Structure 1
Amino acid sequence: MTAEAIDRESEIIAPSVEEETFQWTKQWYPVAVIEFLDPAQPHGLQLLGKEIAIWRDGTGKWQCFEDACPHRLAPLSEGRVEKDGTLLCAYHAWRFDGRGNCKHIPQSKDNATEAKNCTNPKANAIAFPTQERQGLLWVWAESGERARAESQSRSPRLIPELEENASPSAVKKFWNIRDLPYGWDFFIENVSDPAHVPVSHHGLVGNRYKDAQYYDMPRLRDVSTQEGFAFGVTSVEPSIVQTKHDFQPPCLMKITTIFKDEGQLILVLYATPTRPGWCRHIGCQVMVKNSSGELPKGLAFFALPMPTWLGHVLASLFLHQDLVFLHYQEKAFAKKGGDRWSDSVFTPNPQDKMVITFRQWLHTRAGGGVPWDEGCNPSLPAPERDKARLFDVWNTHTKECSYCQNALRTVRRIEFLAYGIAIFCFGIGIFFDARSVAAKALILDPAIRAIALQSAIPSGALLGAMLGSALFGTVGYALKKFGRLFYAYEFNHAKND
């Protein structure tokens, strides 16, 4: 489909007069993987440009507040979760329960004054509805009692294969979560585009020289303002029956590959708009066994058995291959200054059908883009030219993932232990060498002593100590380099042969 044909396409997907424009704030958004969170402290993040804080109350339920204490607007994410299950603002020690009700105002004149002020609605924290489903914490993007009632009428974008009553043949791999330095729309555009996979992910998923082939993308589900749309891929792979890309706004792209042996690979790709130029990605693989009980081939090595923290570390190898394009691509589009995406691109191939449809859905049915909170600066941040900062892993994942923090501490301990053993072995070697030299020096006959001192054959103990020092030194160095992956992973496509 050419750029000139986009207007004809928009006629097909334009909403009817009766159909309501997509309501961004009346939606559930996944904001965290619960098992990765530290329940002993609040966590600050963003949603649609709003600053929010999530924390677990005394009943064991995760709550979400606006990240501002009603007293003097200090960030509640810098507070404390107290033993009684309340959230304490660490500025003046005001406390709030899970519904946002103010429970304690110290420095009050007396108990009666404190009780009166606590009952004032202005003393309450602003709370957003939450629910915990399929291991994720979901937040409704509006607050208040009306929002709480409205939130109960809509379900999050869940994965049926992950429901408790789903077939036991479905096997879920680990959840991954990452803050990405490009917008929600560019994330959805990217995962609507299977054509980039063998090229961008060359050597990991496909080959840029052999697998970048022609295919079509037929529409499988009509465009809907509230329910999105779906496209298929006419695969030339003989083992595949169908691949379906299913966009369910505002946050889910579900990619299902059905194989001839009836096995399925499902890629669950969530994207939550956090702030301009950023989104939060949460994803996993779901592998459905065939009738013989065999699992299909998953996405690269991520389908192999591995601890969750290792999957998180290695995810950079995949995510950063797209990141380096999308971060700058978004800035280039903004620099063009046009209102319509179609005016800035040239899309002549059918592989772009789903991308075109997504951009048209966003333009004609969803207000043209994310409606950022009025207190948020809508301007995009400048392009990041420092690659070490662009490929940051610590601030975009590790510092908020309890699994990775624990793993990093273990890696560092083993690293220091390896270096310690290497130094010890080296010291033992020096000791044995000194003893050997001293013993040879005690030989009285000058001729025999000279021959002994010139001997190049070390003792077995000396050789073993030196080899041990080299081995453990190498292990320590390897662990040091591996530990850097928890902080940053730089990628260069020009060097990806």
Structure 2
Amino acid sequence: MVTQISQPEKISPDTQLFTEEATFQWTKQWYPIAVIEFLDPSRPHPVQLLGKELVLWRDRNNQWRCFEDRCPHRLVPLSEGRVEADGTLLCAYHAWRFDETGKCVSIPQSKDKDTENQHLNNPRSCAIAYPTQEQQGLLWVWPESGDQAEQESQSRKPRLIPELEEKSDKVVKLFWYVRDMPFGWDYFMENVCDPAHVPVSHHGMMGSRYKDAKYYNMIREREISTQNGFAFSLEPVAPTIEKAVHDFQPPCLMKISSSFKDGAKFILALYVSPTRPGWCRHIGCQILVKSNEGKTPKGLAFFALPMPTWLGHILASSFLHQDLVFLHYQEKIIARQGTQNWLSAVYTPNPQDKMVITLRKWLEKRAGGGIPWAEGTNPELPPPQRDKQQLFDVWSTHTQHCRVCQDALKNINRTRLFAYIGAGVCLLFAVILDARMVAMTLGSQSLKEVGSWLMIPPSGAFWGAIVGAIILALGGYYLKKLSRLFYVYEFGHSQND
């Protein structure tokens, strides 16, 4: 049953909804932490989750594993080690090796084999392993370790997208995207609970700040639940849309669905995992479900157009950075106010804020008030980043973790080098052509005749070489500008007319 809240004074969800159910347990959940196709299986990958330092690596059975990122020997990071040919993870400090379960299988500095076996059988020699599973192209991690965690993880399913399980020709999945964002989990979720910002923040890409910032209401589609979140729909919607729903499924999924009257559907699957204070990891994907007549609906702006994955990744910054600057500073501004009550710090008079308020109430009343960071994690937020090049950094938040983008960058740089070399060769060829004709003329004609010959335009081959040099040089220049997008993409709303 749908409950409609139409009066501004009733925007805040009823406190009676937040009763009885047990508090949401953040550590007893599955989190998507990586896109498998973007990981390099030849090396370990450091990641963070709930303040824990973890390492991902692929074992001899081609299964991805997750360990705590510290060797039990001297507590150095295993992510600085190696994945060996036998499918073990080697600590590069003293060459201890670990199998897929975390058991240590080699301590080469032992006095003899018996002594080594004695050390290997000591539980203290084991790496700390966390449950993992691979679903829908994502690597999921359960952030508790041990036998009990293994059992509990098997009793709960990750927040999958049902449409991707259908294996139907009607379902078109576009590329996954992953990015570390310089603001917290709650501010990411707050942002995607807020459709009102879209035509304003994403002016020119997803509407107009001057024409499309209009009134709409948000209708509760699913009552709030500690374990299953809540859902709201928008009203009114475009004439071609039957229903548009924002569905929050804790701890990590916001599923935004637009169902069209012709049977088509557009789904934006937005995952976010809390990594460390002031940071989160976003993994997203568009899913297009064809209409009854087989027509594919439009996706999110130009990102639904056919393009290589790496191009979609670098162009994603043009969208993400439009919100990034707001959320990074918003989090710091609210923290500086020192209030524990989010509602008392903001002014939310319009019905468009209903879902944001519900999220904050869920977090406060149902989920312990915030992320329970791992022991030893400094809960203080990092200071606001004033250097825009650092704030809009793409390399350390995406490219260095993405095998697809690293390969593309190498190819672009190689092509750019060839373009510059080609431009130089063309220019040299043009000079040789011109000099050769002059030399031939000097050898066969008088000085007077040479002067008249110089008035004749150069040959077509000469101009062809010059044009080729210009085209190749411009190509190299624009490839250099393209390669920069793998490192940084700066954005300012004041320049977005």
TM range (shorter): over 0.9
1:71-110 per-position Cα deviation (integer Å, ceiling 9, x unaligned): 0001001111111111111100111111111111111011
Distance 1:45 1:147, change over 3 A: same
> What amino acid sits opposite 1:11 in the alignment?
T
Question: Is 1:13 aligned to residue 14 of structure 2?
Answer: no
* Alignment map for 1:68-467 (pairs within 5 Å): 68-163=70-165, 165-442=166-443, 445-453=446-454, 455=455, 457-467=457-467
**Aligned partners of 2:472, 2:290: CA distance in 1, in Å?**
43
Partner of 2:41: 39
Shift of residue 444 of structure 1?
5.3
Question: Is 1:493 aligned to residue 493 of structure 2?
Answer: yes
What secondary structure does 2:243 align onto? strand
**Aligned partners of 1:100, 1:204: CA distance in 2, in Å?**
47
Shift of residue 436 of structure 1?
3.0
**Aligned partners of 2:12, 2:466: CA distance in 1, in Å?**
75
Distance 1:456 1:365, change over 3 A: farther
**Aligned partners of 2:322, 2:442: CA distance in 1, in Å?**
62
**Aligned partners of 1:7, 1:260: CA distance in 2, in Å?**
29
> What amino acid sits opposite 2:177 in the alignment?
N
CA contact (8 A) 1:3 1:345 kept: no
**Aligned partners of 2:163, 2:404: CA distance in 1, in Å?**
25
Shift of residue 13 of structure 1?
3.2
**Aligned partners of 1:7, 1:270: CA distance in 2, in Å?**
26
**Aligned partners of 2:495, 2:84: CA distance in 1, in Å?**
51
> What amino acid sits opposite 2:367 in the alignment?
A
Aligned residues with identical type, % of pairs: 61
Shift of residue 7 of structure 1?
9.5
Aligned residues: 493
**Aligned partners of 1:36, 1:452: CA distance in 2, in Å?**
61
**Aligned partners of 1:108, 1:4: CA distance in 2, in Å?**
72
- Give the counterpart of 1:26 among 3, 28, 33: 28
1:341-393 per-position Cα deviation (integer Å, ceiling 9, x unaligned): 11111111100000000011101111111111111111111111111111111
What secondary structure does 1:217 align onto? strand
**Aligned partners of 1:98, 1:225: CA distance in 2, in Å?**
34
1:239-279 per-position Cα deviation (integer Å, ceiling 9, x unaligned): 11110000000000000100111100000000000001110
CA contact (8 A) 1:3 1:346 kept: no
**Aligned partners of 2:483, 2:462: CA distance in 1, in Å?**
31
**Aligned partners of 1:13, 1:398: CA distance in 2, in Å?**
43
Shift of residue 205 of structure 1?
1.1
* TM-score, scaled to structure 2: 0.96
Distance 1:362 1:456, change over 3 A: farther
Shift of residue 440 of structure 1?
4.1
**Aligned partners of 1:267, 1:446: CA distance in 2, in Å?**
76
Distance 1:2 1:75, change over 3 A: farther
What secondary structure does 2:316 align onto? helix
Partner of 2:475: 475
Shift of residue 430 of structure 1?
1.1
**Aligned partners of 1:157, 1:131: CA distance in 2, in Å?**
12
**Aligned partners of 1:291, 1:412: CA distance in 2, in Å?**
45
Structure 2 gap ranges (5+): none
CA contact (8 A) 2:171 2:290 kept: yes
Shift of residue 153 of structure 1?
0.7
CA contact (8 A) 1:2 1:347 kept: no
What secondary structure does 1:364 align onto? helix
Shift of residue 10 of structure 1?
4.7
